[in-house]
């Protein structure tokens, strides 16, 4: 299960307001980004908050054969959170994950970005590995 888990918080997004408010626009962006070679969408669900007349944000998930992409928008504060986990089971997909994440970030045109990267599936040899019995 080795892989790269990327998290990003986007602030003061200057993209078209529809991208922050409309689940359909968010879906189109996420599916376009997940068409990147090395990512294989196998399912999706997106939810519109508010109403058709007054949309107020969206949330969506694309399930990937390699893991997942989750995106949540807050148009009232021009913010977005991204969560992209890409497994490296048969090959190292870290570059693909970083490219997809950067494409998403660029689409929202944020003034400020907080990014985090976590290498998963590589136990910390200096740390304590717990089992369910000793948690």
Question: What residues are annotated to the active site?
Answer: 67, 72, 87
d(CA 58, CA 47): 6
100: three-class secondary structure by DSSP: helix
């Amino acid at each position: 299960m080795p892989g790269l888990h990327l998290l990003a918080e986007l602030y003061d997004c200057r993209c078209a307001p529809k991208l922050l408010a409309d689940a359909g626009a968010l879906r189109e962006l996420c599916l376009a980004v997940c068409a990147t070679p090395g990512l294989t969408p196998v399912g999706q669900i997106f939810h519109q908050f508010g109403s058709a007349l007054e949309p107020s944000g969206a949330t969506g998930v694309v399930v990937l054969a390699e893991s997942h992409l989750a995106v949540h928008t807050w148009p009232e504060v021009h913010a977005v959170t991204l969560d992209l986990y890409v497994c490296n089971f048969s090959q190292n997909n870290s570059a693909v994950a970083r490219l997809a994440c950067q494409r998403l970030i660029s689409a929202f045109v944020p003034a400020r970005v907080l990014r985090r990267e976590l290498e998963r599936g590589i136990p910390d040899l200096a740390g304590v590995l717990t089992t369910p019995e000793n948690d």
